[in-house]
Amino acid sequence: MSFLPRDRDWHPRPYDPRYKTSTTRAPSQPPLRIGQTASELTGPIFPASDIGPLDHDLLANHGPGNPIGERIAVHGRVTDENGRAVPHTLVEIWQANAGGRYRHRNDHYLAPLDPGFGGCGRMLTDAEGRYRFLTVKPGAYPWPNGPNTWRPAHIHFSVFGEAFAQRLVTQMYFEGDPLIARCPIVSTIPDPRAIDLLIAPLDMDAATPFDHLAYRFDIVLRGRDATPFEGAP
């Protein structure tokens, strides 16, 4: 059993002059293709005891009080490329507050911190691979890449899967945001169909009336080689 090769042309280009920092941090050599060993075919397992009761609820897990902003749920399923659910895997998120400011000592944007918002969330997927966070919609913010470059509203996602080979860190965007098409980080992904996978549609069926809207973000991790038996003809 092994994992399918990663399609590196589907993922962002490591080096992209439009995203300035990548020009000094992207390796100049392509990654060396190696066979998968125990190190790649296994991975950490996180027990439920690692997760606090409010870790999935960014409306409540910082305080004091509730955060300012548009209340939303972000939910979806984690599956692999074969369509199998990825159960009980750790999903971590982080984001700016509704004004576009991160709770981080290196963020100096003039928008204020929100005392009611930390911006960190964690949960394990359920037996069917589902997850659901409650949060506020993050704000857009400017960053020093060009003279007037803005990040579209986004939530960072980290997912483990069942083995190191499936590790994925990405960002989720919001349907209808005109900044997506202008973002030099989004456009490191060459294929517009791949970008579409990062744009979460509004999901009214998952909204709670008089409480919060919802967006759906499904996540697909690397699949497994379909070869049924090792050594089969």
Partner 1 sequence: MTKETPSQTAGPFIHIGLAPEVADVDGMRTLGTRIVPTDASGERICIEGTIRDGAGELVKDAMIEFWQADATGHHAPGHWGRASADFDTGLWTLKTVKPGAGRGAPHITLYILARGINIGLHTRLYFADEDNAADPVLVQVPEPRRDTLIAQRKGTTYRFDIVLQGDGETVFFDA
Residues forming the active site: 102, 141, 151, 154, 156
Judged by CB under 8 A, the stretch of 129-137, 163-171, 174-182, 208-216 that binds partner 1 is: 163-171
Judged by CB under 8 A, the stretch of 51-59, 131-139, 174-182, 206-214 that binds partner 1 is: 51-59
Measured from the CB atom, is 52 or 208 closer to partner 1? 52
With binding defined as CB under 8 A, does residue 98 bind partner 1?
A: no
Cα dihedral sign, 212-216-217-218: positive
The H-or-E segment that residue 79 falls in is strand 71-80
Site for partner 1 in 115-154 (CB under 8 A): 118-122
With binding defined as CB under 8 A, does residue 233 bind partner 1?
A: no
Closest among 120, 122, 118, 126 to 76, alpha carbons compared: 126
Judged by CB under 8 A, the stretch of 67-75, 131-139, 157-165, 174-182 that binds partner 1 is: 157-165
CB 78 within 8 A of CB 125: yes
Instruction: Please give the Cα distance from 132 to 202 (Å, whole number).
Output: 14
Nearest distance, CB of residue 95 and partner 1, angstroms = 8
With binding defined as CB under 8 A, does residue 87 bind partner 1?
A: no
Amino acid code (one letter) for 174: F
Q: Which of 18, 142, 158, 199 binds partner 1 (CB under 8 A)?
A: 158
Q: Which two tokens stand for residue 151?
A: 């990040």
Measured from the CB atom, is 19 or 174 closer to partner 1? 19
The H-or-E segment that residue 23 falls in is helix 22-25
Measured from the CB atom, is 52 or 65 closer to partner 1? 52
